[in-house]
């Protein structure tokens, strides 16, 4: 039993390699839902969809999200009606949002809907939203507070981050299966995702951090920061805004209370001893994952094969 904590694109790419080495049925993925947003009354779960589409092999690999070859007829028409169109909603992608929203409105839990959707995509991996409850990551800038997706997509992460707020974190309970997936695992993998807004959100859900501290699983994290910069996304602006160093070390420190092993990129090998001083074992590897071979090789390092 392996359980991964995942954000969006980086996590999904890593998991593509992992499923070449392990049986999908033995893998659970706990996915960040802090980016979930309602647009046009539709419940959109960006990270759940990225992980699902990627593992199902239908993702637009260049962008890392959405369906390969999707069209945007509906969004174009919504735009003409005066609707907001900053969030790309492909026609096939919309089916997921419409299907999810219709089931949620009928009283299904997000975790139940997710199981139904991943099943429809033929996945045997168990994909779990971190919570079925409202949890919204908001970014505070000099302009005020905006939803993470508004900051990241609409504003293109331009403004400096002053703070990050997890709206709903006080009351959000882990979705059914989340704590068990951590407690029952032999290996917990923290994917190379934003340590604050992708992994930090999962860690903020009631009981998750405790479960990570108490599980007997080996806990391995892969650095999302290479040579002082994130592979993708605004982790640098966010870490900087929170007064954190933008380094693999700073990420390791955020996980130090539960982590056993940190996988550091070869270009950052100089940080090895500094991380080891946190009581964390360090493995040095190529973490860039340009090809499927890269992904599988990285997964092999994480599995300790």
Stretch 103-122 residues interacting with a second copy (CB under 8 A) = 105-106, 116-117, 120
Do the Cβ atoms of 136 and 147 come closer than 8 Å? yes
Query: Is residue 291 a contact point for a second copy (CB under 8 A)?
Result: no
Question: In whole angstroms, how close is the CB of 231 to a second copy at the nearest point?
Answer: 29
| Strand boundaries in the chain, DSSP class E | 2-6, 27-31, 37-39, 42-44, 126-129, 136-141, 144-147, 163-167, 187-190, 218-222, 225-226, 229-230, 261-265, 281-285
To the nearest whole angstrom, how small is the minimum distance from the Cβ of residue 91 to a second copy? 4
Q: 130 near 176, Cβ under 8 Å?
A: no
91 versus 260: smaller Cβ distance to a second copy? 91
Interhelix angle 110-120/46-56, nearest 10 degrees: 20
If one asks whether residue 55 binds a second copy (CB under 8 A), the answer comes out as no
Q: Which stretch binds a second copy (CB under 8 A): 5-13, 70-78, 148-156, 231-239?
A: 70-78
Q: Quick one: 4 or 75, whose CB is closer to a second copy? A: 75
Q: Does 101 bind a second copy (CB under 8 A)?
A: yes
Residue (75 or 169) nearer to a second copy, CB: 75
Pick the binder of a second copy from 1, 21, 98, 250 (CB under 8 A). 98
**Contacts for 57 with CB less than 8 Å, ≥ 6 apart:** none
Q: Which of 91, 150, 260, 294 binds a second copy (CB under 8 A)?
A: 91
Task: Give the pairing type, strands 163-167 and 144-147.
Answer: unpaired
Cβ(174)–Cβ(128) below 8 Å: no
Residue 71 contacts a second copy per CB under 8 A:
yes
With contacts defined by CB under 8 A, name the span among 15-23, 101-109, 209-217, 266-274 that binds a second copy. Answer: 101-109
Residue span binding a second copy (CB under 8 A) among the ranges 88-96, 154-162, 200-208, 241-249: 88-96
Q: Of these, 68, 92, 209, 232, which contacts a second copy (CB under 8 A)?
A: 92
* Identified binder of a second copy from the candidate list 78, 88, 296, 303, rule CB under 8 A: 78
List all residues 6 or more positions away from 85 whose beta carbon is below 8 Å from its beta carbon: 75, 76, 78, 79
Could you write out the three-class secondary structure of 177-231? CHHHHHHCCCEEEECCCCCCCCHHHHHHCCCHHHHHHHCCCEEEEECCEECCEEC
Range 12-51, binding a second copy (CB under 8 A)? 40-42
Footprint of a second copy on residues 161-180 (CB under 8 A)? none
Residue with Cβ nearer a second copy (102 or 291): 102
CA distance 130 to 265: 27
- Minimum distance, C-beta of residue 78 to a second copy, in the bound complex (Å): 4
- Residue 162 backbone dihedrals phi, psi, to 5 degrees: -100, -35
- Decide: is 82 part of the binding site for a second copy (CB under 8 A): yes
Chain centroid to Cα 251, Å, comes to: 15
Contact residues for a second copy, defined by CB under 8 A? 40-42, 67, 70-71, 73-78, 80-83, 90-92, 94-96, 98-99, 101-102, 105-106, 116-117, 120
């Amino acid at each position: 039993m392996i359980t991964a904590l995942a954000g969006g694109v980086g996590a999904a790419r890593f998991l593509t390699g992992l499923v070449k080495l392990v049986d999908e049925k033995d893998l659970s993925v706990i996915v960040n839902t802090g980016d979930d947003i309602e647009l046009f009354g539709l419940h959109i779960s960006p990270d759940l969809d990225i992980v699902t589409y990627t593992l199902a092999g239908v993702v637009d690999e260049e962008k890392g999200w959405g369906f390969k070859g999707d069209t945007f007829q509906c969004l174009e028409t919504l735009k003409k009606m005066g609707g907001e169109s900053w969030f790309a909603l492909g026609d096939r992608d919309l089916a997921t949002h419409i299907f999810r929203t219709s089931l949620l409105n009928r009283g299904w839990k997000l975790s139940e809907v997710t199981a139904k959707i991943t099943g429809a995509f033929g996945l045997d991996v168990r994909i779990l939203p971190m919570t079925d409850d409202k949890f919204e990551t908001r970014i505070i800038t000099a302009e005020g507070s905006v939803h993470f997706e508004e900051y990241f997509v609409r504003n293109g992460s331009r403004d400096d981050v002053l703070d990050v707020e997890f709206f709903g974190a006080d009351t959000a309970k882990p979705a059914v299966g989340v704590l068990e997936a951590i407690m029952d695992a032999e290996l917990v993998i923290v994917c190379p995702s934003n340590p604050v807004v992708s992994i930090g959100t999962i860690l903020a859900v009631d009981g998750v951090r405790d479960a990570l501290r108490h599980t007997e699983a080996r806990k391995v994290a892969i650095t999302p920061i290479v040579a002082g910069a994130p592979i993708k996304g605004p982790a640098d602006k966010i870490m900087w805004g929170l007064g954190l160093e933008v380094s693999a070390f700073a990420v390791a420190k955020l996980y130090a209370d539960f982590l056993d092993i940190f996988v550091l990129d070869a270009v950052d090998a100089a940080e090895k001893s500094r991380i080891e001083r946190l009581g964390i074992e360090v493995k040095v590897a190529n973490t860039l994952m340009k090809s499927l071979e890269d992904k599988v090789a990285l997964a092999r390092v994480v599995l300790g094969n």
